[in-house]
Amino acid sequence: MNKLTRAGLGLLMTTAIATAQAEEVRIGMITTLSGGGSHLGVDVRDGFMLAIDQAQRDDIEVLIKDDARRPDLAKTLSNEFLQRDEVDIMTGIIWSNLAMAVVPSVVRQGTFYLSPNAGPSALAGRLCHENYFNVAYQNDNLHGAMGAYMREQGFERPFLMAPNYPAGTDALAGFKHLYEGEVADELYTQLGQTDYAAEIAQIRASDADSLFFFLPGGMGISFMKQWENSGVDMPVFGAAFSFDEIIIKAVGSAAIGAINTSEWAYDLDNEANQAFVEGFRAAYERTPTLYAAQGYDTARLILSALDKAHPDDQDAFREALRQADFASVRGKFRFGPNQHPIQDIFVREVVEGEDGEPTNRLVGLAIEDIQDVYAEQCQM
């Protein structure tokens, strides 16, 4: 059993032992490894650990714990990392409601937090902080890019749907901001919902010409299977969160033809991405998702900053993070003034792969160098 296999089995793992040649850096990862949506956290963890393993450093210790998608548990684990384990850096949270429960306290206490996924608008705007970096996106970005794309494609009456939590409200706000037109209707569902009969009936009864939805994890799987059985004939659009490689394989043929936006695709043609996809497949025997790519980039950013400074020298380490001096798997990457990415967003289509299973294929560019609208609220 190799190191990467062992890393996938435990909820608390150590990846390296400090030696005398360098001062140890402790990284605390709180992510979702059980319950609904756990594959998101598993892929963030596995992408992150792949980068750490490839770096072959012996001065980094990574502690990993499962939040089970519970804000109260995430808060407790965060306090343990800060008070007992005295971590230098924290990362890992998937869900925006958990991020809001944890991140503000962490950064106020002088610890760096790097988000590999959740990007709630409040943390990009009024609650931004010099110790908080988002290495994924601001929640609006992928949805806004799809709004712009659907407008350009001539859709005039989209129906919008998302779960009622911070990432869901950000999703529909982001879509409408760049769609810039009237929508047929918008609907908020329960977080973790599995039965969508009532929502599908409402969509069927509308005069919508298309459907845009954000339902990450198991929610997307449940909805798409029910959507296929409903017989409603309408083009389906979303973001990568509802159409990652694991979700679309679980959905099956119902996912074919769906269009989604992502800041990353496994078939993006750049050297860093090709090496990442090859390494991930070799280590874990599956194709990485967006979440794995974000975890990998988060670790690579940390490693690039550690080459220049230790987190104890906060000013120097913070500046090293801001420089983002690493080769991102997504291609172009830089931080905006609120320490959220400015990056390209791509369009992907779900197609039938060579193995007969659904897979995402890169179609083209949805929007270039997107910056979230909340940066102007950031008084850093």
What pLDDT, in 10s, does the model give residues 205-220? Answer: 999 999 999 998 889 9
Q: Residue 192 corresponds to which tokens in the numbers above? A: 């973790």
Q: Residue 7 corresponds to which tokens in the numbers above? A: 């890393």
> Element (H or E) spanning 188, and its range?
strand 185-189
Q: Residue 57 corresponds to which tokens in the numbers above? A: 């450093």
Helices marked H in the chain: 3-7, 38-55, 71-83, 96-108, 121-124, 140-152, 166-179, 197-205, 218-230, 245-251, 271-284, 290-306, 314-323
DSSP structure class, residue 317: H
Instruction: Report pLDDT for 12.
Output: 44
Q: What is the DSSP string of 69-111?
A: T-HHHHHHHHHHHHHTS--SEEE---SHHHHHHHHHHHHHTT-
> Has residue 228 got a pLDDT over 50?
yes
Instruction: Report pLDDT for 313.
Output: 97
Instruction: Report pLDDT for 20.
Output: 31
Q: Give me the mean pLDDT over the 35-57 stretch.
A: 95
Q: Which tens digits make up the pLDDT trace of 321-346? A: 999 999 999 999 999 999 999 999 99
Q: Residue 120 corresponds to which tokens in the numbers above? A: 């709630």
Instruction: Report pLDDT for 370.
Output: 94
CB of 121 within 8 A of CB of 136?
Answer: no
What are the φ and ψ backbone dihedral angles of 165, each rounded to 5 degrees? -155, 175
Instruction: Report pLDDT for 371.
Output: 93
Q: What percentage of the chain has pLDDT greater than the value 90? A: 90
Q: Cα angle vertex 276, ends 332, 31, to 5°?
A: 90
Q: What is the DSSP string of 227-289?
A: HHHHT----EEEEGGGS-HHHHHHHGGGGTT-EEEES--TT--SHHHHHHHHHHHHHHSS---
State the average pLDDT for the chain. 93
Of the listed ranges 9-23, 46-60, 341-355, the least confidently predicted one is 9-23
> Has residue 3 got a pLDDT over 80?
no
Q: Residue 376, exposed/middle/buried by CB under 10 A (0-12, 13-18, 19+)?
A: exposed
Instruction: Report pLDDT for 37.
Output: 86
Instruction: Report pLDDT for 326.
Output: 97
Give the 3-state secondary structure of residue 130.
coil
Confidence class for position 22, pLDDT limits 50, 70, 90: low
Instruction: Report pLDDT for 339.
Output: 98
> Element (H or E) spanning 128, and its range?
none
Give the 3-state secondary structure of residue 300.
helix
CB of 273 within 8 A of CB of 330?
Answer: yes
Instruction: Report pLDDT for 19.
Output: 33
If one compares 357 and 36, the residue with the highest pLDDT of the two is: 357
Instruction: Report pLDDT for 217.
Output: 83
Instruction: Report pLDDT for 7.
Output: 43
Q: In the beta sheet, which residues pair with residue 134? A: 115
Domains and CATH numbers, the chain: 25-137+268-335 (3.40.50.2300), 140-262+345-370 (3.40.50.2300)
Instruction: Report pLDDT for 5.
Output: 41
Q: Cα angle vertex 10, ends 72, 310, to 5°?
A: 75
